Structure 1
Amino acid sequence: MACALGRHHQLRGGPCTAASIRQADGSAAVSVPPPPEPGGVLGRPLRRREDRRLLMGQGRFLDDIAAPPGCLHAVFVRSPHPHARIGGIDSDAARGVAGVVAVLTGRELNALVAPLRMAPPIEGLLPMEMPVLPVEAARLVGDPVALVLAETRIAAEDAAELVQVAWDPLPAIASIAQAKEAAALVDPAVPGNRVSHQVFATQGLDAAFARADRVVETRFGQHRQTHVPMEPRGVLAIWDAGREHLTMRVGTQAPHPYRSAVAARLGLKEFQITVDSPEMGGGFGQKIIPLREDLCLAAASRLLNRPVRWRETRGENLTAAMMAREEIVTTRAAVSADGRLLGLTCAIEADFGAWAFFPANYMARVVAMILPGPYRVKEYGYDVQVWLTNKCPAGPMRAPMAVTSWIMEGTMDAIARELDLDPLDVRRINSIADADLPFITATGERYDALTPRATLDAAADTLGYDALRAQQAQKRETLLGIGLCTVVESTTYGSAFYRSAGIPGSGHEVATVRVEPSGAVIASCGLMGSGQGYETTLAQAAAAGLGAAFDDLVIQIGNSDIAPYGMGSRGSRGAAAGGGALYMAGQRLKAKVLAIAAAMLDLNSADGLDLREGRVLRQVEGAWADTGLTLAQVARTAHLDPLRLPPGMEPGLHTVLAFDPPAMTYTNSTHACAVEIEPATGALRILRYVVAEDSGTRINPLVVEGQTHGATAMGLSGAMMEHAAYGEDGQALAGSFMDYALARAADLPDFTLSHHDTPNPRTPAGIKGMAEGGTMGGIGALMNAVNDALAQTGAHLESQPATPARIWAALQAAKDKA
């Protein structure tokens, strides 16, 4: 979820001209300003401002905030069973531990916190309701059922072990197959355990399959993963009884929606809550909304009128925070003899876990909507089913649509194998070309300024595709595999997208920019960073829009009392929504600055004036000349000498701008990798890895490069080794890093990156966003390379992770079959 800006267009004739666009849903036009002159702060590879304090150990994370006087420490009592009735909770022994102040259960806390009801009006989606703590039954291992509060963390931990729960184990559902067949229900309100079902098909789909030369069916299984942020979750809740005000110090990606949710659940008004987000050691989607522990602490602080803090353990984070990714997908491709894709269907079954923090159809339906990716698929249909199981609830994780690219690209490889064609040729013949743009997909999504054919060719050439194919044909002791994966990544998620998907919500972002009398510039928006470098990249966007010097501008984010209400950081929207809003706000304020400057220079209008690096320039005989006037001088006049302002102009220099981006903005990239497999052991090694990407206009190339590296590493780690495994009895099997493996530096290759950027014509400065495509591409390229290697033996791995043990088992199965 990062920022990506950087390709420039020459601006001639004045600083404030704008293009007018119409939203994808046909709503009112939005004025989108063009990029500034080349050579400015936009696109400059500046080092991140944040890094100095972080590298010196002077960051301010939640644990760096000293506990207020009287602060209590919280520990949760959690279910050891995947499914069990709660017969009763005996806390007498726990209350007797020295320092214990309270033991609260669902019966006390549910009276203070309203249940979360997830029931958007979507056809085929059943409503679900979740109390802040369960009273009748726990639905997963790690389900919180009681809260212990004590003067010290040690006392709270000791007391939590003494809380006695009368468990009555119930049958547990640990897989989609069990959910379909079991008489037991995860949620009594969801008959048959299927919580969501949606279907879609174009009118000509059946005809496309009827005229196909071949129908190729392929199956994909993506395994359950979890976010594993470097810093687990935590909360410090402080209730001020005198002011009737709650302060939540918490790492959250979306401070304002988080505040609104807490206010609604606790029956407070939003002005009674301040959300203050300090430094955050990673989020990846796990820290967007208030989860149950957050709400318990807020209610406990209010009930006891004392500050309360909680720090999640790594085991809690791995088993009970939130998970993602578990899907089973089958595609059927109708193709001609030369590999042209005539029609496509996909059937998706997703494991949603036990409770609903988000609409149950959300992630799986987005996968289905964007599945055709970079290919000309006119006839398309999907069937999406979401099932409940006794597992940790599902939610968005960096690239919640991550499986999409592997499904589509794996299908292209299957077509090539079935027809004995080269996988690269099959992709080229089906790829969307420049002449196809703007392209409307079968599901109604609009592609602007995409370059999938260009990135495909660039990645293949850089990888040395032809030479590797020649090597692969030679006799070798190891298996050589080549994987290609072209990604079309969805970003921005404007309000029109949510409406078309039937999901309540807004995709707009709000920015404020103000110039103080000294010329210092303070800018803000509703995002919150968790490692993306927002203090740098957002400052570049605002400075570029205004024409201020980068060092004179600061970004203030993360505090709901300071920043304007925005939708937060998620879905790679930071650049197009947040950066775009700041850029446009800067442009708006720049117009006022230049109007004041014109008056100060005794000019009739601001035509021919511009503000760059904090200095007012004037165009004279086709060249820009320094007028000697600075932003600081203009600001001093605006604030302290308002009688010198043009007639009717308000004093001061400040602006607020709200921007609702296009329904969806898309960016693209192609990942290509070569792998080597040792047949005797299944050991996997990545030999070479290439990424060719089109990130649109890049704010900061260094940050874009870092985001691509990090996202790709996350995708590769997930595809190779991460697995939030459960036993057939529903027991969580990955409660520590001994069981949940993460890729280390030595497990990952060097990345070769190239850029083929095209600005988007419908977003400010051509911004696209790009921080989740690396995860999608890493998964698809790795799995396709593994299966390309295994295909030489007749083996195939249809589900992740591609561990040596699973690769070896696939090789043995192929050998036995042969």
Structure 2
Amino acid sequence: MSAAAPAPPPAPDGPLGRPLRRREDRRLLTGAGRFLDDIEAPRALHAAFVRSPHAHARILAVEAAAARALPGVVAVLDGADIARLVAPLRLAPPIEGLHPVEMPPLPRDVARFVGDPVALVLAETRAAAEEAAERVEVEYEPLPAVASLAAAEAPDAPRVDPALPSNRVSRQEFATPGLAAAFARAARVVEARFGQQRQTHAPMEPRGCLAVWDAGREHLTMHVGTQAPHPYRSALAARLGLREWQVTVVAPDMGGGFGQKIVPLREDLACAAAARMLNRPVRWRETRSENLAAALHAREEEVTTRAAVAEDGRLLALACRIRSDFGAWCFFPANYMARVVALILPGPYRVREYGYEVEVFLTNKCPSGPMRAPMAIASWVMEGTMDAIARELGLDPLEVRRRNSITDADLPFTTATGERYDAVSPLATLEAAAAGLGYDGWRARQAAEPRRLLGLGLCTVIESTTYGSAFYKAAGIPGSGHEAAVVRVEPSGAVIASCGLMGSGQGYETTLAQAVAAGLGCAVEEVAVQLGHTDIAPYGMGSRGARGATAGGGALYLAGLRLKAKVLEIAAVLLGRNSADGLDLREGRVVQRTAEGWAPAGPTLAEIARLAHLDPLRLPPGMEPGLHQVLAYDPPAMTYANSTHACAVEIDPETGALSVLRYVVAEDAGRRINPLVVAGQTHGATAMGLSGAMLEHSAYGADGQMLAATFMDYALARADDLPAFELLHHDTPNPRTPAGLKGMAEGGVMGAIGALMNAVNDALARRGARLERQPATPARIWAALQGRSEA
């Protein structure tokens, strides 16, 4: 279905916009959920991995005799064993400046980071597997490690991947034709620097899998917490040399993903290969330390901006340089996250002249991947640049934003990089957040209490939510942005729906049921949503970004609408009418338009479903029996939501301790399917952003040793570290998506990072200090106040 032909909005009394409680919460809160470890598999072997203690080392030998001699140990497999059944991963998309890379299923010759899996132990119990893994002796030859961007780009740096000419795996650049001229005529050129630290996803439930090989059918069933079951299945089958009908992926309840559980990582592939090799089920559950050190990391970037401005603070041009640390191996195209940051960095402002340079480097650290809001740094960079302009020119930061913001009159707005904004409201959310915070009052308080280090931070976010196929095509990235849906009505009137998404805490079973009910016109309570099973759901692209509402909800809504048209055609025949004009289906009952409004017309959805399935000769001539609809929907190239975060903070100058005093979010998420779920997503995303900006750091030493492999060292925000969140809404439906849906699940991360860091720097500016890098820990803040290095 074309993205250019959105469906009409549902009836005013439809289920969209109703704050229904999440139906899945009952089982999850009462301990009745079914997670991976709840799935029984007779004769299952337990897996444990032997991991490299070195950041960079040749693997000379793997000696496993002592491990194999332990009771209960069935096998010890190394990289050569796994390579017999699993093909290497080669990433070579046709993107200029991006070098092709290849990764073996397990390293056979060289380990590239601390935690790199070198061997796999399989035993009858988990305890036996873990003990045996400790008995495996690996002979290493340590090599020099590259543990920072500076080390990676040094002329004599050891190469992380010897197949590359240097550690720079990717470089792209872009500039509008008038960029140089705009800088030449600027009254001022303002420079700013930003650094985001390496973080990790830390889901409540670490990774794991249960691989079951049926030798008779030559069929693999993979029970795994994955956000994208069908792409996961495709990748798994391709790497194992199987047809897709030989692989079934079943995703049980999942305790968080945040981008870490999208593609099959090496442990999953090794377990699947071992199950096939030994013809026994293999299960693996990652430890927390493994997850922190060796799953996926994200976010490590350095950005420099140069802004050409007029004396009144108007932005004439912007140039930025982005350098990203991608870690040791590439599970994704190395330029993907950094390139998106560059594309959307101008955000809510009228930046006509723009240029960027993006460089991505390999280092001897855990590989990187997408993490909730992989473009998270973009909003802080842009909003921090606006603050830098205000400081340079002696202007109020709010006023500088007002002068540069995109307004309703500018829409639709095409950015310098060709992105199209259709229905965004950045100036409205900016004004709402500033008013909600009491911006002028806080500024007056700062002036009246100069001894207190009070700071105000604003951050307006343009959040890219749903990436359509046209975006991937334009970016040279293989893949699709479509989503597929199936809606069927059983003879009793029960409605069963499915799509390619998989939930990891988003409340899909509730919100997607509302989307189906809105399209079809049935009661929400009649809809069951089945997710996470590749033999049941149609092929879809899964849950990533914030595409669930627009792509998944949109596809289900449109499928419901199309199925409703068939129901009403049947109803028209039953009512003796020539057409379905003037009929509708609401709450599962056919209604007809009258002079007074809508009135019941007679048949119910259950009655029509019974006829369609069990008495098909009464259907209109030529109509096929049953009530079922399969539909695929490809959204616009990009869908955007927006929000503004505003916070007030106080810093204790004696200790550097940071307190968030007030926090306001004004957001425009388009039509909200379920306001309760939207609020929960905003709270969770904002909490994640604040936690990352204040505390989290996957730290490494200069030798590449991991320094934060437990929660004693990798700090997460606790409840009492976070403020209450005050939410304001300014809903602008998108005219190019079904029902005006936009998505909004990642903007909270982006806004929180920018608002918090800008507030900290607003407070520090009163002492002539600044933090250019996150996290804003008390130690870093105190060092900045003392004029010392942030490190």
Smaller-chain TM-score range? over 0.9
> CA 1:288–1:731 in 2, change beyond 3 Å: closer, same or farther?
same
Deviation at 1:107, TM superposition (A): 0.7
Deviation at 1:476, TM superposition (A): 4.1
State the one-letter code of the partner of 1:388.
Answer: L
Deviation at 1:475, TM superposition (A): 3.2
- Residues 670, 777 of structure 1: 8 Å contact kept: yes
- Residues 658, 778 of structure 2: 8 Å contact kept: yes
- Residue of structure 2 aligned with 1:519, choices 493, 496, 502: 493
- Residue of structure 2 aligned with 1:568, choices 542, 562, 574: 542
Q: Which moved more, 1:720-729 or 1:179-188?
A: 179-188
Partner of residue 430, structure 2: 456
Q: How far apart in 2 are the matches of 1:184 and 1:476?
A: 51
Q: How far apart in 2 are the matches of 1:763 and 1:377?
A: 26
Deviation at 1:30, TM superposition (A): 3.9
2:90 matches 1:125: no
- 1:401-420 matches, within 5 Å, as 401-420=375-394
State the one-letter code of the partner of 1:87.
Answer: L
- 1:600-749 matches, within 5 Å, as 600-749=574-723
State the one-letter code of the partner of 2:113.
Answer: L
Q: How far apart in 2 are the matches of 1:106 and 1:216?
A: 51
Partner of residue 172, structure 1: 145
2:183 matches 1:183: no
- Residues 548, 612 of structure 1: 8 Å contact kept: yes
- Residues 667, 695 of structure 1: 8 Å contact kept: yes
State the one-letter code of the partner of 2:640.
Answer: Y
Q: How far apart in 2 are the matches of 1:38 and 1:789?
A: 47
State the one-letter code of the partner of 2:150.
Answer: A
Q: How far apart in 2 are the matches of 1:281 and 1:810?
A: 38
2:297 matches 1:337: no
Deviation at 1:814, TM superposition (A): 7.1
State the one-letter code of the partner of 2:134.
Answer: E
2:41 matches 1:79: no
User: What secondary structure sits across from 1:750 in the alignment?
Assistant: coil
Deviation at 1:29, TM superposition (A): 6.3
- Residues 795, 814 of structure 1: 8 Å contact kept: no
Q: How far apart in 1 are the matches of 2:221 and 2:465?
A: 32
- 1:397-546 matches, within 5 Å, as 397-546=371-520
User: What secondary structure sits across from 1:253 in the alignment?
Assistant: coil
User: What secondary structure sits across from 1:517 in the alignment?
Assistant: coil
User: What secondary structure sits across from 2:153 in the alignment?
Assistant: helix
User: What secondary structure sits across from 1:492 in the alignment?
Assistant: strand
- 1:126-525 matches, within 5 Å, as 126-181=99-154, 182-525=156-499
How far does the alpha carbon of each residue in 1:93-112 deviate from its partner, in whole angstroms, 9 at most, with x for none? Answer: 10000000000000110111
User: What secondary structure sits across from 1:94 in the alignment?
Assistant: helix
How far does the alpha carbon of each residue in 1:742-779 deviate from its partner, in whole angstroms, 9 at most, with x for none? Answer: 00000000000010000000000000000000000000
- Residues 76, 148 of structure 1: 8 Å contact kept: yes
Q: How far apart in 2 are the matches of 1:185 and 1:776?
A: 33
User: What secondary structure sits across from 1:512 in the alignment?
Assistant: strand
Q: How far apart in 1 are the matches of 2:118 and 2:596?
A: 72
- Residues 546, 590 of structure 1: 8 Å contact kept: yes
- Residues 282, 531 of structure 1: 8 Å contact kept: yes
- Residues 78, 143 of structure 1: 8 Å contact kept: yes
State the one-letter code of the partner of 1:125.
Answer: L
Q: How far apart in 1 are the matches of 2:496 and 2:63?
A: 54
* Structure 2 unmatched ranges of 5 or more: none
Question: Normalization by structure 2: what TM-score?
Answer: 0.99
Q: How far apart in 2 are the matches of 1:598 and 1:622?
A: 20
> CA 1:815–1:201 in 2, change beyond 3 Å: closer, same or farther?
closer
How far does the alpha carbon of each residue in 1:475-494 deviate from its partner, in whole angstroms, 9 at most, with x for none? Answer: 34430000000000001100
State the one-letter code of the partner of 2:73.
Answer: V
> CA 1:392–1:814 in 2, change beyond 3 Å: closer, same or farther?
closer
User: What secondary structure sits across from 2:58 in the alignment?
Assistant: strand
- 1:20-39 matches, within 5 Å, as 30-39=4-13
How far does the alpha carbon of each residue in 1:500-558 deviate from its partner, in whole angstroms, 9 at most, with x for none? Answer: 11111100000000000000000010000000000000000011000011111110010
- Residue of structure 1 aligned with 2:89, choices 94, 116, 136: 116
Deviation at 1:308, TM superposition (A): 0.3
User: What secondary structure sits across from 1:616 in the alignment?
Assistant: strand
Q: How far apart in 2 are the matches of 1:814 and 1:389?
A: 27
Q: How far apart in 1 are the matches of 2:525 and 2:768?
A: 60
User: What secondary structure sits across from 1:192 in the alignment?
Assistant: coil
Partner of residue 22, structure 2: 48
Q: How far apart in 1 are the matches of 2:233 and 2:655?
A: 52
Name segments (4+ residues, structure 1) moved above 4 Å: none
How far does the alpha carbon of each residue in 1:561-584 deviate from its partner, in whole angstroms, 9 at most, with x for none? Answer: 001100000010000000000000
Q: How far apart in 2 are the matches of 1:69 and 1:58?
A: 22
State the one-letter code of the partner of 2:530.
Answer: Q
Partner of residue 738, structure 2: 764
Q: How far apart in 1 are the matches of 2:534 and 2:711?
A: 35
Q: How far apart in 1 are the matches of 2:721 and 2:451?
A: 22
Q: What RMSD over aligned residues (CA atoms) do the two structures have, in Å?
A: 1.0
Deviation at 1:647, TM superposition (A): 0.5
2:761 matches 1:792: no
State the one-letter code of the partner of 1:165.
Answer: V
> CA 1:593–1:334 in 2, change beyond 3 Å: closer, same or farther?
same
- Residues 793, 814 of structure 1: 8 Å contact kept: no
* Structure 1 unmatched ranges of 5 or more: 1-19, 21-27
Question: Normalization by structure 1: what TM-score?
Answer: 0.96
- Residues 669, 773 of structure 1: 8 Å contact kept: yes
- Residues 794, 814 of structure 1: 8 Å contact kept: no
User: What secondary structure sits across from 2:647 in the alignment?
Assistant: strand
Q: How far apart in 1 are the matches of 2:484 and 2:747?
A: 25
Q: Which moved more, 1:498-507 or 1:343-352?
A: 498-507
- Residues 542, 582 of structure 1: 8 Å contact kept: yes
Q: How far apart in 2 are the matches of 1:231 and 1:34?
A: 40
> CA 1:313–1:815 in 2, change beyond 3 Å: closer, same or farther?
closer
Deviation at 1:217, TM superposition (A): 0.4
Q: How far apart in 1 are the matches of 2:785 and 2:435?
A: 30
Partner of residue 7, structure 1: none
Deviation at 1:435, TM superposition (A): 0.2
Q: How far apart in 1 are the matches of 2:254 and 2:261?
A: 9
How far does the alpha carbon of each residue in 1:247-294 deviate from its partner, in whole angstroms, 9 at most, with x for none? Answer: 000000000000000000000000011100000000000000000000
- Residues 82, 731 of structure 1: 8 Å contact kept: yes
State the one-letter code of the partner of 2:691.
Answer: S
Q: How many residues align?
A: 789
- Residues 510, 657 of structure 1: 8 Å contact kept: yes
Deviation at 1:815, TM superposition (A): 12
State the one-letter code of the partner of 2:57.
Answer: A
Partner of residue 25, structure 1: none
Partner of residue 554, structure 1: 528
- Residues 221, 329 of structure 1: 8 Å contact kept: yes
Q: How far apart in 1 are the matches of 2:157 and 2:631?
A: 54
User: What secondary structure sits across from 1:32 in the alignment?
Assistant: coil
- Residues 783, 789 of structure 2: 8 Å contact kept: no
Deviation at 1:32, TM superposition (A): 1.4
Deviation at 1:37, TM superposition (A): 1.3
